[in-house]
Each structure stands twice: as C-alpha cells, then as structure tokens.
Chains A and B, each alone.
Chain A
Amino acid sequence: MTYQPATISDDLSKLPHLPRWVTSGRLQTLETVAFRSGVALTVLDQLVSDPRYGVPVKLLANRLALSAATATSKLEGRMARGADIRDAWYLTPPGEARGPDGDLLALWRETVRLRLNGPGEIADLVGAEFADEVGVWLDAGLEEARAHGPLSGCLAILRAVLDADDRAERVACLLSDIVMARTLNWKRVLPVTAQRLTKTVLRDLTAGGQGADLPAEVRILEAIEESVRVARDLTRRAEALRAVAPKLRAKGSDAAVELFLTEDAVAPASMLSPRVRGTSIPMSPRAARRFCDRLVELGVARELTGRPTFRLYGVTP
C-alpha cells in the first residue's frame, strides 16, 4: 500500500510574522534595537498567547529548552553539542545519574514547567547559593523592565547575577527569561535569553561601560527573532501532524500524537511503550516503533539521531 505523504503547508500568512521593514534595517543603534525588539516581542507574544493561532507552546518551550541548554553549555565552557545533551537526558534510565549535560537540560526543562507565581520554586531551581538574592534581583529586574522595557530588565538581571558570581551564566539567563515572561505576562517561561549570548558579550556586560549594552541587546533581539521563526515553523509542522492524526488507527495513537505535539523528541522504546507517557494507554514496543515509522512515512515526523538504534523521533526540523 502506498501512502500519500502529507504536504507541510508553506502558507504561514495567517500567523503573525516579523514584517520585512522591521528586519531589513541593519544599522544597529540602541534606538533601532529598542524599536525592533518591541515589534519582535509583540509578534512572539501574539503567537504564544493567542490559542487561535494553534502554536504548540509546550513543544516550542521544550525545543527552546534544548537550545538554551546547548547555549549555556557553551557559555560555561563545556561545549556539549545539542545531540549529546539530548542523548544524556533521554538515555538515562529512571533513578540513575544524568551527568552534567543531562542535568543542564533537566534544569531548562524544569524552567519551562515553572509556575511563575511560586517564588519558592524559583529559589529551589537556582540552588542554595542564590536562593536568598533571587527575590531582590527579580524585583529590580521587573522594575527596570517597567521603566525601560523588557530588554533593559533582562540586561539588569543578567548584570546583577553575574556581578554576584561571574560563573552563574545559567542562573543569569534563566532569571532573565523569567523577567521577560513576567513582563509580557506569559503563563510559562520561554528560554530565549541564552540562545545567542557569548562569553565576550557577558564579560563586557559585567565590566560595566555603556557600550556593553548594545551588543547584549542585539544578541537577545536575535534570539527573540529566532524564537518567532521557530514558533511559526513548529506551528506549521504541528498542523501537518494534526491533519494526518485521523488517519492513524493504531491503538493509543491519539495520546501518542499528543505527546509528539508537546515533546521535541520522543523515544519510542521508553516514552510510548509500555505505556504512552502521561497516560495509562498501553502500547507494545513493536507498535510504538511502527507508529513512529508511520509518522516518518507520512512526512510529519523525522528521526532525529541518524542511528539505527536508540532512535528519537520528533516533528522538529
């Protein structure tokens, strides 16, 4: 039997996008960056806040968590690749140690699951060393964001954390994302800040000097624009998956599709069988493999690792 592969539509016209007249300007001054970031944040805000657009927000958040883990690994000089970080997290049996890479991804995944009104949760996340100052830093960051806009708020808290400990890059980026999410009144944190930052940019930021703000703001702006692109792309891929979902008749396929719409990578052997994660719906290992192969055949998912075994599937590009 042959299947008609689904076509992933290129019609993104109904989704909010970054207008060309905003992204085309290449002259970077504090004014142009402030202007462009205003537009970019509004577009991102519309995408994640308005359910009509069908943006798979959990999927987006998990995908951005992996990018943030890769970026912070680089900032901390460990230089783990995204694929290695993902493997460390997905291939650790329950109860075993994840190692530094898996732990880093776990931190970012916990960040996107954070309930924003629980200050205790944030303190637990950043660890004992910073638990006391977190509240003060967040208040100051939010205050700055109210007065001068979200990017200034992000910069203020990055600076505050790195002044206290110049090796706390992951905590600084994480708290900056919380400031952004709170300022925009999002329900969940999107790990945006870390994506494009470099060691040099952060070092200059803590060394002081007004000149240091612009490069940092440009990096965060680029990350916001990138997040908009990822959000639009994932929406179109999620739509394609939703469109073929009725064709899938395997037992438990609804729950499995739901998993693909929230997780950027799915390991059939542990996340679909013996039970579809988060549900009590059973699926045999063979059925799980066949289900994933079927999604690939239909053109709505991809095998992510290129390995013959220990495969991971996802709708992500």
Chain B
Amino acid sequence: MTTATRKRKPADDSEAVFDQELEDLPQELRWREWMGRIEAVLFASASPVSREDLARVVGQGASVEMLIEDIQTELAGRPYELAQVAGGWMFRTKTQFADAIKAAADLGDPSLAFTEMEMRVLCAIAYHQPIDRAGLKDIFGKDVSRDLLARLRYKDLIASGPRSPRPGAPHTFVTTETFLVTFDLQSLRDLPELTSDTAACSGDTSE
C-alpha cells in the first residue's frame, strides 16, 4: 500500500519531517487534525502545556487560541474541561465531580493533603517569596523543619529560588507552577489580599 510505504520512510529520519502545515488536506480536515493534535498533546500531558509548545504541532498561521476555543466548545457538556492555568492549558475534571471521583477511586493517601503547619509554611512562602529558612524562622518564631520543606518540595509546590545573600548562601524558596495549578491561580496576584483575617495564615510579621 502506498500509504504504508510513505509512512515508513519518514520514520527513518524521525521527527525531522513532522508535518505541521498539512497542506495536502482540505482546510476543514486540516483544522480538525490540528484540533485533534492539540487535544492529544494536552491529554497526554500531566502538566499545563504552553502556547509555544502547542504552536509546534499546528501550522504556522494557525491560531492556537481559536483551535482551543473550538475544542472547548465541543467539550461543553463533558465532565472535564480545558482550563487555562499558569500560562498554559490542561485538562481538568470539573469541580462538581470531585465527590464522585473521591467516592469511586481509593486515592490512597492523597498526596496533596496538608498538615496545618505545612499549609502555613506554604502560605508564608507564597506571600514572602523568595524567602530562606532564616526568613521563615523570623515569621514563625521557630525553625521550620527541613523535613517539612522537603515534603513541600517533593509535592513540587515549592522549588529552590535565588541564593540569599547571607553567609553560606542558603537558597531561598519560591512557589512553582504546580502550586498555581493546585490552588487554581492564574498568577500570584490571585492570592487573596492580606487582611487582618488572612494575616494569621502568613504567621503575621509584626513589622
């Protein structure tokens, strides 16, 4: 079959010949194929995919945003959606089905369950980043355990940031993209304003 031979050839020099433009397809089909590709890429990825990455699987002139809008329209009635988070897009189940998912699947020890102290430390880092352990000690009045920080890091909610200009050059902590996704924030600006109610969460620096 001709298609089979055609397919095998490009496989030799692998991705170099990936066809972005699909010029041999009529416009309608081309658009559908592009939609399919974007959906497939997003489906296969556990983390948000940036616009630049998506642009690589569709034609030069194609608008990623319009393709995504079309996909979103098709997904209107589905229990999952294409959400824009942290500068990219990802598939997400709609929140109204959270209980159903919990009831059906034994999620084991949910990796995102936090102790109160973890939540407080995460909060302090979110508002005061970049902040090092000494800075956290100033906020909480006691040392924050390395284990706790390691757990937050293991969950990919915090990462190492700039070095702190103190002896020993300890690294500071900053929040990650996963942090934004987990708490459904577009950017750090979506963090609630620090009022006297929420100040308790950051440990309330007295200065």
- Residues of chain A touching chain B, judged by Cβ–Cβ distance below 8 Å, are 76-78, 87-93, 96-102, 124, 127-129, 131-132, 167, 305, 307, 309-310
Contact = CB atoms under 8 A, between A and B. Distances in A.
A129 B84 contact: yes
18 contacts: A90-B162, A93-B163, A96-B159, A96-B160, A97-B159, A97-B160, A97-B161, A99-B172, A128-B65, A128-B87, A129-B87, A131-B65, A132-B63, A132-B65, A132-B66, A307-B165, A309-B167, A310-B163
Interface string B147-191: 000000000000111111101010110101000000000001100
Contact of B130 (A76, A101, A310): A101
Contact of A100 (B89, B171, B188): B188
Interface in B45-97: 50-52, 63-66, 84, 87-89
Contacts of B164: 91
Nearest to B161: A99
Contacts of B176: 97
Contacts of A100: 129, 174, 188
Contact of B64 (A90, A128, A310): A128
A131 B189 CA distance: 20
A298 to B, nearest CB: 25
B165 A92 contact: no
Nearest to B177: A97
A93 B161 CA distance: 8
Nearest to B48: A128
Contacts of A87: 162, 165
The 5 lowest CB-CB distance pairs between A and B, nearest first, are A128-B51, A99-B174, A310-B165, A92-B162, A91-B162
Contact of A92 (B51, B65, B161): B161
Most buried by A among B66, B163, B188: B163
A84 to B, nearest CB: 9
A96 B65 CA distance: 30
B169 A310 contact: yes
Interface in B97-148: 129-130
Nearest to B131: A99
Given A77-B189, A99-B129, A132-B65, A127 B159 contact: no
Given A77-B189, A167-B189, A92 B64 contact: no
A88 B162 contact: yes
Contact of B163 (A77, A91, A127): A91
B161 A88 contact: yes
Contacts of A92: 161-163
B130 A131 contact: no
A228 B87 CA distance: 36
A309 to B, nearest CB: 7
Given A97-B176, A167-B189, A131 B64 contact: yes
A270 to B, nearest CB: 10
A167 B88 CA distance: 18
B84 A128 contact: yes
Contacts of B50: 128
A127 B174 CA distance: 21
A310 B162 CA distance: 12
Interface string B189-205: 10000000000000000
A78 B160 CA distance: 20
A307 B167 CA distance: 11
Contacts of A305: 165
A238 B130 CA distance: 33
A202 B58 CA distance: 37
A102 B162 contact: yes
Given A76-B189, A91-B162, 16 more contacts: A90-B162, A91-B165, A92-B161, A96-B161, A96-B171, A97-B161, A97-B176, A102-B130, A124-B52, A128-B50, A128-B84, A128-B87, A131-B64, A132-B63, A132-B65, A310-B163
A309 B163 CA distance: 12
Contacts of A129: 84, 87
Contacts of B189: 76-78, 167
B185 to A, nearest CB: 12
Nearest to A84: B130
A88 B130 contact: yes
Contact of A127 (B51, B129, B160): B51
A87 B189 CA distance: 21
